Amino acid sequence: MSDTTKVITATEFKTNLGKYIDYVIANNEVVITKNSKKAVRLTPYITEIERYFTVKENALDYQYGGKKVSYEEFMEIYEKSELRMEYINGEIVLLGSPNTFHQDISGNLHIHLRAYLKDKKCKVFYAPFDVHFYKKDLNTPDVMQPDLLIACDLEGTVNEEGRYMGTPTLCIEILSKSTRSKDMVDKLNTYMLSGVREFWIVDPKKHSVLVYGFKDYDIDEYSSYKVGDTLVSYFFEGLEITVNEIFEA
């Protein structure tokens, strides 16, 4: 507890309400007790982005030259925030809003994937949709929002809050200038090591798609498709999409 924390009784707080509100506004905190037990804590209001940077500033785990936050700290921030964010290698990554071409591509892919999956047990989802990826031999997950994904293990992997806690079979990321390096390096590594079977990297700038097939937590196959080609899925038999159709605006 800091030197700027006052512990007072509920009666004292009621009697001096204005005084203690001013005290908290001045960037202090007040703990109110009832029946000799701590019951309420009053702290200054901060925005979610300020809360995020405060947690990062107080984090004690320093690795790879960057400040880390624990998975528990991330979940506490995430549950109280309306910001879109991911948790990758112990760091919080704030997500920006996609542009119109990104949304065109996502919509085109969703239409094709949904049509392919009709009457199949697998289901396609699109962002924002959180997935907890547990990499091989690690207990702390990465929490990410693939632009699109196909899940085939929905039975028994949706918790009481309606959250999907399984491992997707296919993940798709649509590149942007701000996410290019993370999508092509960090996310590829996470998907590969968490048991995902296939990963597509869609490049709106080059109008191309990279398809990675994973087996035994390693890259098994790798293919590159450009305009004029027909993309062939590594894992899903019969799933083929003309690249031109992916980039229709």
DSSP secondary structure string, 174-227? E--TTTHHIIIIIIHHHHHHTT--EEEEEETTTTEEEEEEEETTEEEEEEEEET
Q: How confident is the model at residue 128 (pLDDT cuts 50, 70, 90)?
A: confident
Q: What's the mean pLDDT in 131-138?
A: 90
Give the rounded distance of the alpha carbon of 220 from its chain centre. 26
Q: Is residue 93 part of a domain?
A: no
Q: What pLDDT is recorded for position 202?
A: 96
Kind and range of the H or E element at 117? helix 100-117
219 and 104 in a common domain: yes
152 and 106 in a common domain: yes
Q: Is residue 88 part of a domain?
A: no
Residue 153 or 26, more confident: 153
Would the pLDDT of 149 be above 70? yes
158 and 71 in a common domain: no
Other beta carbons within 10 angstroms of residue 2's beta carbon come to: 6
Q: Which domain holds residue 200?
A: 100-246
33 and 56 in a common domain: no
Pairwise CA distance, residues 184 & 176, whole Å: 11
Structural domain total, the chain: 3
215 and 168 in a common domain: yes
Q: Is residue 138 part of a domain?
A: yes
- pTM of the full structure: 0.71
111 and 28 in a common domain: no
Q: Is residue 52 part of a domain?
A: yes
Residue given tokens 């979610």 in the structure block: 48
Q: Is residue 168 part of a domain?
A: yes
65 and 21 in a common domain: no
- Residues with Cβ within 8 Å of 66's Cβ and at least 6 positions away in sequence, in order, are 91
DSSP state of 141: P
Alpha-carbon dihedral sign for residues 94, 99, 103, 106:
negative
Buried b vs exposed e over 224-237: b needs ≥16 C-beta within 10 Å? ebeeeeebebbbbe
Q: Is residue 242 part of a domain?
A: yes
Other beta carbons within 10 angstroms of residue 51's beta carbon come to: 15
Q: What's the mean pLDDT in 27-48?
A: 82
Read off the CATH number of the domain in which 9 is found.
3.40.1620
Read off the CATH number of the domain in which 211 is found.
3.90.1570.10
Q: What pLDDT is recorded for position 65?
A: 34
- Residues with Cβ within 8 Å of 228's Cβ and at least 6 positions away in sequence, in order, are 243, 244
Closest Cα partner for 130 from 162, 102, 98?
162
52 and 38 in a common domain: no
206 and 192 in a common domain: yes
Would the pLDDT of 88 be above 80? yes
Q: Is residue 161 part of a domain?
A: yes
120 and 217 in a common domain: yes
123 and 13 in a common domain: no
Determine phi and psi for 233, rounding to 5 degrees: -65, 140
205 and 137 in a common domain: yes
Q: Is residue 95 part of a domain?
A: no
